[in-house]
Amino acid sequence: MDLHKSLCDDGGKERIDPNYILMFNQLLQDNSESSRAREILEEHVDVIDSSWDKSMQGPAHDMLAVLTEANNDWTKSNVYYERQLAIAKDINDLKLEAKALNGLGSNYGKLGEFGIAVGYLEQQLAIVSDMGDSVAEARAHFAMGNVLLAQGGREKEAIQMLQKARGISETSDDKKSLSWTLCKLGEAFRGIEAWDESIAALENSILIAESIEVEGKQNCKIKANQVLGQTYLEQYYSDESLVDVPEKRDEVIERRANIIRPALCCSEKAVKCGLSVLLDMAQEH
């Protein structure tokens, strides 16, 4: 379906209407349309704010926030999340409010503004704990764990949050969220040199990702493989009993290389990431 055509009347005049939000949701399953979707929505944001009902304004700003976030424009994404948050509070839509707080917390974490990020995520946790929405609750704990992990030195706190997200995802059978949570758990365990726990979590993450992800969209599998490879290296260089065993050294290096190779076949982005990791590996070796 042509995205631009779907937003035009019979005479070909471009327009935007609340009813087309559902059409956007369907079209955005195709990543190739996401840039055009963002452009069209941004072109009409004044119309959205001036003429739409707030119950439709909120989802529109949420979509704009997600689209700009996917483009790594976190500052601009926050503008839309802030607008979404104000609308959600105005119409008392707790689910929309929680999504906005999650987006703001995650984005500020990526911007290195950890204090602000934690503040938003604490608000989200307070809301979702009373909502009875397992998906939102798992998302909230995952986001908090991710931000804590990114700060460095707070791995144990991150593990607590990620374990809560893991438990909820396992109960709700949300395999995609569970795979990502296990990946982050593996990274957090690696940070405190809990090697066995890290490896177990990452191997589990990869198995789940392989069971649900389609070819060409194996982002979690790629990430988990890279983290697992780094874990093997750090374990080797941190364990004095292995330092003087050349055979073990070679096994670790080869295992790392074998982990990275499958990722190199998935996408151009994966190739760049994989090559960067291989260079790191060579430097450490």
For residue range 12-64, list pLDDT tens digits in order: 444 555 555 545 555 555 555 666 677 777 777 887 788 778 888 888 899 88
The CATH number of domain 174-285 is 1.25.40:
yes
**Greatest CA separation for the chain:** 77
Least confident of 121-125, 239-243, 262-266: 262-266
Q: Which residues pair with 14 in a beta bridge?
A: 8
**Rounded distance, CA 7 to CA 45, Å?**
14
Report the C-alpha dihedral over residues 41, 42, 48, 49, rounded to 10 degrees: 160
Q: Which residues pair with 8 in a beta bridge?
A: 14
φ/ψ bin of 22: left (φ > 0), alpha (ψ from -120 to 50), beta (otherwise):
alpha
Residue 233's pLDDT band, with cuts at 50, 70 and 90, is confident
Q: In terms of pTM, does the model score above 0.85?
A: no
**Rounded distance, CA 91 to CA 68, Å?**
24
**Rounded distance, CA 259 to CA 273, Å?**
13
Is 76:68 a contact under the CB 8 Å cutoff? Answer: yes
Q: Please determine, for residue 248, whether its predicted confidence score (pLDDT) is greater than 70.
A: no
- Which DSSP helix (H) or strand (E) runs through 141? helix 134-151
At residue 10, the pLDDT reads 47
